[in-house]
Chains A and B, each alone.
Chain A
């Protein structure tokens, strides 16, 4: 007879590794053999986690179909026993798992679709913050604009895709036929954030991506304008920078701004 600790370890090994040692501790019931009864727990573990992954990665599921998704889920569950209290965290390693594990790694769009789904789920219940408003920006004195720095909304994050995973996601989300997976000529930047209670994403061009990366690092608006001018030409550079800023503000991607008062260090 095992003590409680040893019994729980055997029980857990019985579920995770198929080890039958725990069966010596269990009684047959009047109607059923112990192996079948313990099998309820074995089955429930895999079925519950498979359901969690199917809920969290429903677009990936739709893309690969039931058969491949079942294989992918089985491999992931075996590789990553759950180590968090909340089941919503269980699938957090799936994008990295798909990037690193054959045969999924040879289809790079799979990891990218998964990373987009994870990013949207993360944005959905990330911390709240009042978004920066155009009204607040309008109160900034013209002479202070060059020293203005921005705070991204806490839900905002950036991804970079090498494939057309974002287009595949959009088609499947709209329940239409997805385009054939393909590598993009240039990496595609994607911004993910939550507007009010809805998690959103949008692909952005290289210039906007550069400006976003600098802005979230605390680079002043005056310097951002110079960088935009360097990136794609001085003509209308300030207008381009202001347009990006207005888009970010209109869609709730920024949480605040302040006028930097320390000596100009660029950032």
Chain B
């Protein structure tokens, strides 16, 4: 993250930003994709780790038997 400081001399109240456009004209747009896969990543990671440890235990058991 970066940060810069701007010193302002103006005493006027903050103007309303002029970015408010008519979204009805944005026919090509869709609502943002807000799925997120953090749960899936956690589950996959834990399953892989658990599966790996289980496989190593199983092979060790076999070799001892």
A binds B: no
